[in-house]
Amino acid sequence: MGTMKQPKLLAPAGDMEGALTALKYGADALYCGGPLLQLRADTAGMDEETLSRVIRTAHDREKLVYVTVNSFVYSREIPALAPYAKRLETMGADGLIVSDIGALAEIRNAVPHMELHLSTQANCMNYKAAQVYYDLGVRRIVLARELSLAQIAEIRAHIPDDLELEAFVHGAMCMAYSGRCLISSFLTGRSANRGDCTQSCRWNYHLTEEKRPGEYFPVVEEAGGTALLSSRELCTVAFLDRLQDAGVSCFKIEGRMRTPYSIGVTVNAYRMAMDKTAPVDALLRELDTTSHRPYCSGFYLEDPLALVPDTGGYVRNWLFVATASEEASGGVVPVQTRNRFAVGDTLEVVSPGQTGRAFKVGRILDESGQELPLSNVPMRLVTVDCPHAVQAGDLFRKAIG
């Protein structure tokens, strides 16, 4: 990917399983939320004990962990920031991701040696703003989602060499300005800017006319209305080199609330793209095996059609069925089941650094060695005939579309 130093691959982790999966499939670093101000639903925020274990696990593998403290902060929450930042420093967090300028100042005062990253929520869109944040102690800018490649390159040309630029390369996007949205707050009382978004933009809406109460007109001729405000998902696997050339030094994958399967397949695909070990067409196929909305190139290529609203809903053509419970050289593989599969099904196994490898299930054996026609009990340990060598934690899937 050019002559510059290869960017780092930053992956999400909402729990220990997600963290282990992202590390296994090639992430250079993780970003995680703790129990305070982490801008995602509570299920994606780890307690401090789990977060500490994730940090130790990553460090054992010589990987980094950045902790999100990127919710907008109310005045009553300021006193909690300094002691929380000090606890994160004691845990060994490699950096904190912050959006609120008051929180940034409070954290910097509390832990002056902690590396600070500016969240995309801060909407940094020009080099002057980047310089101001640099002067406040920030050493990495997570760029606003609305920037084109040309605009990123312009920022890179005007900022200090040691100020890094990070950009999202894959995952969900918000039609609002870098996620500053009040639709959820207005309709449900749950704020997107506090990590509690109901994704109201994904709902179906109709038009009404004041003199025709009870009559609902779809904006587009679709049976269920139209998700007018719902964006497509970002996918840049085909032009990562252009992001690097623009000056991006860290590629960020969205999704702390996604499943370990989605995290593993996505990280694996981008790792192979960065290492140039698989063709783009094969990687696009890999990314299509996750549950996702239709993909687009976001704002990077300045293509106005890229953000045409998503009116088709999720693409779900594959089912995650099992993980390998231990290493096997081929033949009989012990797996822990997640979803239904049967004798005669064609499955694919996904190993680090490889695209899916297909095989037909000849036998399924239960814990006592008895043959089963199918496996339909989640989290059950069974063995399957598989000709491929696998590692513990490898992912198994089957086509359903």
Which CATH number fits the domain that encloses residue 345? 2.40.30.10
Q: Are residues 248 and 381 in the same domain?
A: no
Number of domains in the chain: 2
Which CATH number fits the domain that encloses residue 253? 3.20.20.380
Q: Are residues 331 and 301 in the same domain?
A: no
- The residues facing 235 across adjacent strands are 170
Burial of 11 (0-12, 13-18, 19+ CB in 10 A): buried
Per-residue pLDDT of the chain (401 residues; tens, 9 = 90+): 444 689 999 999 999 999 999 999 999 999 999 998 876 656 667 999 999 999 999 999 999 999 999 988 999 999 999 999 999 999 999 999 999 999 999 999 999 999 999 999 899 999 999 999 999 999 999 999 889 999 999 999 999 999 999 999 999 887 665 566 666 766 777 766 666 777 777 677 776 777 878 877 665 545 555 555 667 889 999 999 999 999 999 999 998 889 999 999 999 999 999 999 999 999 999 999 999 988 989 889 987 666 666 656 788 999 999 999 999 997 899 999 999 999 999 999 999 999 999 999 999 999 999 999 999 999 999 999 999 999 999 999 999 97
Q: Flag whether 60 is in a domain.
A: yes
Tokens of 5: 């130093």
**Whole-structure pTM over 0.85, yes or no?**
yes
Q: Are residues 132 and 279 in the same domain?
A: yes
Phi, psi (deg, nearest 5) at residue 11 = -120, 150
Q: Are residues 12 and 71 in the same domain?
A: yes
Domain boundary among 253, 285, 307: 307
Q: Flag whether 189 is in a domain.
A: no
Cβ neighbours, 10 Å, residue 50: 16
Q: Positive or negative CA dihedral for 294, 297, 303, 309?
A: positive
Structural contact between residues 217 and 300, judged by C-beta atoms closer than 8 angstroms:
no
Q: Alpha-carbon distance 120 to 124, whole Å?
A: 7
Q: Are residues 285 and 335 in the same domain?
A: no
**Half-sphere exposure for 352 (CA within 13 Å, toward CB):** 12
Q: Are residues 16 and 115 in the same domain?
A: yes
**Half-sphere exposure for 30 (CA within 13 Å, toward CB):** 33
Q: Alpha-carbon distance 222 to 207, whole Å?
A: 13
268: containing domain:
8-173+231-307
Q: Flag whether 207 is in a domain.
A: no
Q: Flag whether 124 is in a domain.
A: yes
Q: Are residues 366 and 243 in the same domain?
A: no
Q: Flag whether 13 is in a domain.
A: yes
